[in-house]
Each structure stands twice: as structure tokens, then as C-alpha cells.
């Protein structure tokens, strides 16, 4: 083999390698904890369909905000609210025109006890529960929705002494799940699988009792020209992804 041929082969293999790298991109996605289950399923499908790889990190939106504002290497941020993606965009740390609502959360009053919560949520007005768990309204969108619901029902003052506040909706769920709180406001998605509530008793709070819990996605600064990140957001909007999102107890727009 001549030197020229060897060079040709070497060059070709470099081209091949780099082209295969283009077709198998890795993107890092920061995901609000409440969306853990649906995004795992969606990411798996996306990986199968496109040969790209999605690395998911789960955590609170507040922490992700702080990390991304300080240059964390995520390409996509799926927040639990609209405020944090917007603030990142305002600060130039995310791309404003990529922000959209990928899911809408539904609030539910839940107990592990199959008899505890009646279909109209009247249990809130009774003295039959020890503690009422809710996420911290200052920090978590589901906590704010819980507070708005109690305000709608004019039960804030009556129930306040029984509140225990989780730092996020996952911890609030644990308070009820471990029976330390008889009842609690959690996300419908936490107790739903395949469109069904898996255990206990629940009251799905009517939409008009609280402002919509819109969860927004956004592309992070530095990934504005990343085709895989854009493809992933498009995939999130596709019918098949939206079906998965609905099956976990979220509404879609």
C-alpha cells in the first residue's frame, strides 16, 4: 500500500468517525423532578427513533435555575414553572423564542387510606385528619396551587395549624406516602399510571380553583445552534410524546 493510499484510508476513516459523531449527538437535559417518569419514557423513544443520546438530570427548578445562570452545561431545561425559564431568557442565559409549555400539572388531594378523601374534597372542612401536607407555596408551583385552592374554599385559616410543608412536591408526596400526613395536595402525575390513580383515595381539584400550573421548556444559551436539542423539543411536542405526557396525569395545551 502506497503512502498516498494509506493517507486516503486514514482520511476516510476520520470523515466516517466524525460523521457518525454528528448522527449520535449527546444532549444534557435538566428536568424538574415532577416530570421524571414521562421524560424517561419520552427520552427512551427519542433515542430509539433518532440514535441520539439524552442525558437526564433531575432536581428542583430553583437549583437548576441557579446552576444554569452560572453556566451549567445543559442544553435543554424543562422547568416546573414558567417564571424560571423566562427569567433565564431575560438574563440572556436561555433562548427566549424557544420557550413553550410542554405540560400542565393537575392538583389532587390524596390519601393512602381508600376511605379518607371523598370525591368532593369535603374532608378538608372536617376534623378527621391529623396533618395536611402541601408543597411550600413560595417555592413550588403545586404548593401555590394548593394555597389558591384553600383560599377558594376559604379554609386557609381553619387548616393552617395542620399544614406540613414539603420543600417540593416529591417530599410532599413522601409525607403522605409514609402516612405521616393523613392527606396532602400532590400532583396527579405522582399517583397516576396509564390514566389511572394507583392507590388510596383522591379528589381531583377542579381547574377553576387554582391558576394553571404551566411547565415550560427552553433551550439554554450555547445550544441555540444545537440541532439535536431543537429536535428533542420538537419531539416533546409530537403527538406520541403528548400522549405519554397525558397518560401520566398531565394536561396538554
* Stretch in the footprint of another protein (CB under 8 A) among 2-10, 11-19, 134-142, 217-225: 134-142
- Determine, following the binding rule CB under 8 A, whether residue 62 of this chain makes contact with another protein: yes
Q: Which is nearer to another protein, 115 or 180 (CB)?
A: 180
Would you count residue 175 as binding another protein (CB under 8 A)?
yes
Longest dimension (CA), the chain: 90
By the 10 Å C-beta count (0-12 exposed, 13-18 middle, 19+ buried), 38 is classed as buried
Q: Taking CB under 8 A as the rule, which mask of x and - marks residues 85-124 in contact with another protein?
A: --x-------------------------------------
Contact 136, 250 (CB under 8 A): no
Residue 122 CB, shortest distance to another protein, in Å, is: 23
Give me the least distance between CB of 179 and another protein, in Å please.
5
The residue within the footprint of another protein, chosen from 6, 9, 66, 227 (CB under 8 A), is: 66
Q: Binding to another protein by residue 222, rule CB under 8 A? A: no
Listed in sequence order, the residues at least 6 apart from 132 whose beta carbon sits closer than 8 Å to its beta carbon are 124, 159, 162, 163, 164, 181, 182, 183, 184, 185
Which of 84, 214 has the CB closer to another protein?
84
Question: Segment contacting another protein (CB under 8 A): 99-107, 132-140, 209-217, 228-236?
Answer: 132-140
**Residue from the set 37, 40, 86, 131 that interacts with another protein by CB under 8 A:** 131
Are 123 and 116 contacting, i.e. CB atoms less than 8 angstroms apart? yes
Residue 139 as a binder of another protein (CB under 8 A): the answer is: yes
* Among 212, 80, 81, 211, residue whose Cα is nearest residue 148: 211
- In the complex, least distance from residue 205 CB atom to another protein, rounded to whole angstroms: 21
Position 33 contacts another protein (CB under 8 A):
no
Q: Which stretch binds another protein (CB under 8 A): 26-34, 147-155, 175-183, 219-227?
A: 175-183
Under rule CB under 8 A, residue 179 binds another protein: yes
Q: How many CB atoms lie within 10 A of CB 165?
A: 18
The pairing of strands 196-197 and 100-105 is unpaired
* 65 contacts another protein (rule: CB under 8 A): yes
Q: Which of residues 187-216 bind another protein (CB under 8 A)?
A: none
Return residues touching another protein (CB under 8 A): 60, 62-63, 65-66, 84, 87, 130-131, 133, 136, 138-139, 163-167, 171, 174-175, 178-180
Amino acid at each position: 500500500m502506497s503512502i498516498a493510499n494509506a493517507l486516503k484510508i486514514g482520511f476516510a476513516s476520520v470523515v466516517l468517525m466524525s460523521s457518525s459523531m454528528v448522527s449520535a449527538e449527546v444532549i444534557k437535559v435538566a428536568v424538574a423532578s415532577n416530570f421524571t417518569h414521562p421524560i424517561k419514557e419520552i427520552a427512551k423513544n427519542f433515542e430509539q427513533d433518532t440514535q441520539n443520546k439524552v442525558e437526564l438530570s433531575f432536581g428542583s427548578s430553583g437549583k437548576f435555575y441557579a446552576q444554569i445562570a452560572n453556566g451549567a452545561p445543559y442544553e435543554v431545561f424543562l422547568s416546573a414553572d414558567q417564571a424560571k425559564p423566562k427569567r433565564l431568557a431575560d438574563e440572556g442565559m436561555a433562548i427566549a423564542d424557544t420557550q413553550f409549555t410542554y405540560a400542565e400539572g393537575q392538583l389532587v388531594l390524596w390519601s393512602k387510606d381508600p376511605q379518607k378523601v371523598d370525591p368532593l374534597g369535603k374532608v378538608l372542612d372536617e376534623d378527621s385528619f391529623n396533618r395536611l401536607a402541601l408543597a411550600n407555596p413560595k417555592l413550588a408551583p403545586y404548593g401555590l396551587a394548593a394555597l389558591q385552592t384553600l383560599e377558594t374554599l376559604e379554609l386557609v385559616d381553619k387548616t393552617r395549624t395542620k399544614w406540613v410543608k414539603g420543600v417540593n412536591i416529591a417530599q410532599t408526596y413522601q409525607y403522605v406516602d409514609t402516612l405521616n400526613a393523613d392527606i396532602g395536595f400532590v400532583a396527579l402525575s405522582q399517583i397516576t399510571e396509564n390514566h389511572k390513580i394507583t392507590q388510596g383515595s383522591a379528589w381531583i381539584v377542579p381547574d377553576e380553583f387554582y391558576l394553571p400550573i404551566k411547565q415550560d421548556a427552553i433551550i439554554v444559551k450555547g445550544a441555540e445552534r444545537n440541532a439535536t436539542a431543537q429536535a428533542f423539543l420538537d419531539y416533546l411536542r409530537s403527538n406520541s410524546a403528548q400522549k405519554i405526557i397525558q397518560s401520566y396525569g398531565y394536561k396538554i395545551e
